[in-house]
Chains A and B, each alone.
Chain A
């Protein structure tokens, strides 16, 4: 158990809908990262937050947005969902003060868009 929690574990919804994925980082970790993993692709970095502020942006679609709250939990919002958005969404957290600043991953949310 990495100490990173994600909810929900599974989510099934229809095209055009909007969903929110939630992540709680490990205790003390200030950085949160979101990744998308599809069957035919590797882990794609979406976005990083550090202590409430956006730090880096990857291949995140305009239909997707995220935020990190004062208690450091983060939410990833996916809107106008398409079939191709079906994937595993992982959150990871890290402690920039640690010597390695390793990213630890949560169990993921499996999103199915029908």
Chain B
């Protein structure tokens, strides 16, 4: 089976750095994805990790440790528009099935 855990809510200040954690337990692993979703809109792809380590993409970075079943998304220089839900998803190694966490609702305050 699949179990993906993320904090439900986080609040951070504009200009600051925030780290959103995700832990997972899966029967087969073939990559971890982070998506951003604004209320009522489609999830948009942010980052992908399949090997251990840090992937950096502008203000966003994502880290993976497969042995620990752990990932985090790091957002730097927070902007008000970063207020959204951040979804962690694990891809199964059978087919391309994604298992999503329930998401972390991030609120950026001035």
Residue positions of A touching B, CB distance < 8 A: 2, 4, 31, 33, 41-45, 48, 50, 55-56, 58, 88, 90, 94, 96, 100-108, 110
Contacts and interface: CB of A to CB of B under 8 A. Distances in A.
> Which secondary structure dominates chain B's binding surface?
loop
Contact of B98 (A4, A41, A45, A88): A45
B59 to A, nearest CB: 19
Contacts, number: 61
Contacts of A4: 42
B70 interface: no
A33 B44 CA distance: 15
Given A56-B97, A103-B96, A42 B43 contact: no
Interface of B: 31, 33, 35, 40-45, 48, 50, 87, 89, 91, 94-103
Contact of A43 (B40, B45, B50, B100): B100
Nearest to A31: B96
B45 A102 contact: yes
Contact of B87 (A43, A50, A56, A94): A43
